[in-house]
Structure 1
Amino acid sequence: MNVRTDLWLQNLLDERDGAALYEGLARHEKDPARAASFRELAAAERRHAQVWERKLLKEGVAVPPDRPSSRVRALVWLARRLGSAAVLPMVLETEAGDADKYDQQGGEATEIAAEERAHRQVLAGMHGPDAPQGARALIGDRERWHRGGGRAGSIRAAIFGMNDGLVSNLSLILGVAGAGVAPGTVLVTGFAGLLAGAFSMAAGEYTSVASQRDLLARQIALEKREIEEAPEEEAAELALIFKQKGLSTEQASRTAAEILKNPESALDTLVREELGLDPEDLGSPMGAAGSSFAMFSVGALVPIVPFLVTSGTPAVISSAILAGGILAGVGGAVGFLSGTSVWRSALRMAGLAALAAGVTYAVGRIFGASIT
């Protein structure tokens, strides 16, 4: 045994557990459609297990007997007592963890990760007391959320980008001002902090978006290869998703077969439906970097403004009041968007900023006095 085969063995045990879990859910599921879906998921997990079993046997590693873990037995027991809906949230988390685990392993495991994400999407559609009939409504709700998600995400990114710039530069400026340095030094420090933070945020955002695009391109390439090498399995996965969207077994199979006749259309559909990815959701790395730079700069400029027109204690007080008022407004906006208390969110954000600025100002005063 070595690190690689140890990893394969753990993968085998996890896939066997997944198959045993879905088989147990199918046994105790009263809804025939849901039971059939669980059996199909179990079959997919068995196929995954066979992949790792073959690799282990090829390396001469003894394969242990197929026994479900205590966790799986407990989940099946709960499903028998309370119904499958009671355990689906935990199963969803497991599928998400499996997909992430396989993504990190790379190679053949990355292809399995795509199927694990498809399983999670199927389970999400089943999650509900009246699914699969209720799956259509649930999926519809999720899609409405996604349609508004890009805009809401942009708003949140703008708000928190400005907040980062404001809090970090306010703390920096008040710390330097507390040390009693010349007004010109405070301004230079403030603008240096603005540029340093803005460039750092922009670089981070550029790297993040570019990495996401690279990952998406890799996933698309892997999906394209799966369509070419195993079209039957891809058709089965797609049909399973369509069934959870309300189509009958025959309609789902026919629709999946029709889609797979056109390779380009099939690839686009599988990327969206099986992987849950939308290429249009990822913007330009340069655009994201520019937006992040701008919003951080706007926030970081706020505490500098009073020092452009005055200096000393009046500038410190004005900077703190101006920044506190804007932060309270930003916090209130966050509370409004998240559906929580506007006042509590406003006070929390302003209070945390006041704490950070107060600490840095006190440290500046102490070091300034020590140097003097």
Structure 2
Amino acid sequence: MTSRPASSTHPGPTPEQVRRWRRYLADEIAEGEVYRQIAARRSGAERQILLGLADAERRHEMHWRRLLGDERSRNLPRPSLHRMLLRWLARVFGSVFVLALAQRAESDSPYAKDSDVPEGMVADEAIHEEVVRGLAARGREQLAGNFRAAVFGMNDGLVSNLALVMGIGATGVAPSVVLFTGIAGLLAGALSMAAGEYVSVRSQRELLEASSPTQVTLEAAEHLDIDANELELVYLARGMEPEDARHRAMERLGYLDCDCKPQFSARPDGSQGPVDHSEDYAEIGSAWTAALSSFCFFAAGAVVPILPFLVGLSGLWALVPALALVGAALMFTGGVVGLLSGASPLSRGLRQLAIGFGAAAVTFALGRLFGADVS
């Protein structure tokens, strides 16, 4: 590694450089531990990739130790809060959430702006971000469907029931009316979400079933006329080339020896080969499971705005805590979305908060316009 020209003209490192290098060393040690802890829970190529990252962090660690010397490499400061959190999460979970955080840690490396850092080390950090991005992408793909349903359901429950409670509460009606309205909104929304998910998933499965080949060709083949070979049309419709379709039809009619290969059809990517819909069914999942999950996630969100009313509060004494509770929940769900997408958790949380409070403000204003005093 070749170093960029140092910004300092002193023959030895300045106190400020020493403090910075010691912080870098502490962070490199922490990052190496994170990758080793995640690797301990993985196997195969993914494990080797993580161990390779840990080895790279070890090389960086040794670079700072050489610059600092033995004496100044002892009693290091604590690593940054971000890396301490990463290390704890890696020890406890070792999941895609940790990789997403590690991706952000690599992208926020201060090395690119520090003239004391070798160019090779700056390049290493840029590559590390891409490596971690690739590893995190695998987990994101696995979580995509279920995570989308969970976040969508919970946020829908939070926002819709908060807007409903704020609108009704602003009219000045009795607290029992607001509570009943909130419970009705919870049940109506959760049942609607569950019904929608059930119909959606069930429809997808039925479409797949309607597209799957059947064995009717085996039953009807012995009665077909070779000179009017509709059986060939079956295989053409399934995506086979004309020559292959005719060959397969002749096999089914008994004019050629059957090679007993699976029936062929067009794959989703356009290539020819046996189509197995079992993976499609697994990806879609069970209609009942999807419905139950949507019901539970929506209900979990929708119950938050009515918690103050459940404990006996009323008027503004209930609406303000409801806003605070929903705001915290929206910040959390938005932060998780940002974390998994590799974006800033704070900005995503604030975006969710603005959406939820915006909807509540509209219904609250309407309630005040057509209702009475809530004090």
TM-score for both structures, normalised by structure 2: 0.49
Which structure is larger by alpha-carbon Rg, 1 or 2? 2
- Structure with more of its chain in helix, by fraction: 1
TM-score for both structures, normalised by structure 1: 0.49
